[in-house]
Structures are given as structure tokens and as C-alpha cells.
Structure 1
């Protein structure tokens, strides 16, 4: 059985104190859902939105979120809807799009419990395919993005 909410909040708080953030990995419980990972603590540590990444394995998602944390720690700002060339190597860019607030309960439940009544925002980091196309562009051929696009 999983840990209780108090123990989970303590672990999250400990990680934020030590690393500046906590990474939560969420696995599908229903058919048609995608796995995703997200930060908890970007708001608290850097005054930035929490970031979600859909469809990647734990290690890759964690590495990308860690890169975001390092950038934020250095003063980088996440700007929605703008191609950001600072997160990925090479000529690849990412785009952040805000998560609709009506999706927080379903996708950010642990963050809501952690922050309690403190307001926070969240963005999905969209990754390009090998031809630098994003999921909303014709010809995109990479990680399935229907679920993530539906909540922005």
C-alpha cells in the first residue's frame, strides 16, 4: 500500500528543501491515458509554474524537469506559447502551454494537496519531433499528444 498523504507531503517538502523541487511520476489507470511526470516546488523555489511532461520514461522526464529547475534557478523564465531553445540540446526547442485550471484536480492532485490553498500555475512542456514539428502542426510524428493537448 502507498504512503499516506502526510508522509508524501513530508517527502515532497524534504525534496524541495534539498533540491528545490520534487518529481512526481503518474502512470495511467485507465485505457487511453498517457503516463506523465511533473514538478512540485517550482512555484515555491523559483516563483515559476509547475511543469508537466507527457509520454516519456521516468528517467528522461526527470532529466528534462531537472534541466528546467537548473534554468529557473539561474533566472530563466518560462514563457507560454514561445519556442524556448534553452531546455534541449542542439537546435531543438520546446513550447510550454498553460494547463487549464479545470484540469488541476485530475492531473495535479498531489500538487494541490501539497500547496493546499496557495495558488499555483502549471505548464505542459511540448517536445518537437525529429523535424522540429510540434503536436499541433501538420506531420508531427512523435509522442502521442491528444491527452496533453486536451488540457491546455
Structure 2
């Protein structure tokens, strides 16, 4: 992540105050890790879990999280492990799966600092391939999903 944590933490708080959430893009620090992007503020602003997206470039992930924020503002709720038709166009679904609590420290450090002990939930958004298959289904052919599958 780099940078002064105090400055980053202030930027997170400022963005949540202004926009309702902050988008944090995390680059891998070790071989075998994927880049990922996650929200901070969905729990505070909308009563929704924070959302992690693995393997997408920053702008695409930010756009998907922005769509989640818009839906949450309008009252949409996530149902884990249920195909959700509201995020993507073209009849494509996404599936949200809860992140295990024991993975929060490694994957949600910025959110943990922001919430300072207040409870919050987090989910991984899984995206389908062109054939509408998900990573746990045979023949899936899109974003590598070993790392996100290991934390849910």
C-alpha cells in the first residue's frame, strides 16, 4: 500500500463522508497473490457488507463497487451464495460469498483501521465467465479464483 497511514486513513474517512465509501486497490506483495479492490464504508453508510473484487483492473473494479454503492443507497441487500442479477448487464449474474473472519486482518486492514473494533461484514464478489459459469463450476474460464475462494 505504501504512503503515510495517517494520510490514507484521513482520505478514507473524507471519502466516506463525501461519497459514502472509499475504494482501496491492493497490489500483491508476494508471488501467488492477486490484486484486489475493496470498499470501505458500505457497512457504515448503507448497513451492507464491504465488497472485495479480485483480478480486475482498478477502473473496472471501482465501477462495479460504485454500482454496488448505488444499489445499496436504493435499498438493495446482498444475499450470500444467491445469483444476483442487479450488478452486471446482459443477463450476467454475480455471486457474493462471505469472507471468513480469520482472513480480515490479511485482506481488510484498511477497513479494520477505519472501523476501530466496530463489527462489519465483508463478501467477495465472484464474476461469471462468458458462459455464465462461476469459479466453482466445471469449465470456468475467466479470472483466476484460487485466492478469493480460499478466503470464503
Range into which the TM-score falls when normalised by the shorter chain: over 0.9
Distance in 2 (CA, whole Å) between partners of 1:6 and 1:59 is: 25
Residue 95, structure 1, aligned to residue 95, structure 2: yes
Runs in 1 of length 4+ with deviation above 4 angstroms? none
How far apart are residue 3 of structure 1 and its match?
A: 3.1
SS of the equivalent of 1:84 reads coil
Worse-matched range after superposition: 6-15 or 67-76: 6-15
How far apart are residue 25 of structure 1 and its match?
A: 0.1
Give unmatched runs, 5+ long, in structure 2.
Answer: none
Partner of 1:141: 141
Partner of 1:151: 151
Q: Relative to structure 1, is the Cα distance of residues 2 and 31 closer, same or farther in structure 2, using a 3 angstrom cutoff?
A: closer
SS of the equivalent of 1:53 reads strand
SS of the equivalent of 2:97 reads strand
**CA displacement 1:64-123 (0-9 Å, x = unmatched):** 000000000000001100000000001100000000000001000111011111010100
SS of the equivalent of 1:17 reads helix
Distance in 2 (CA, whole Å) between partners of 1:2 and 1:55 is: 20
Residue 24, structure 1, aligned to residue 16, structure 2: no
Distance in 2 (CA, whole Å) between partners of 1:107 and 1:2 is: 15
Q: CA RMSD in A?
A: 1.0
Q: Report how many aligned residue pairs link the two structures.
A: 152
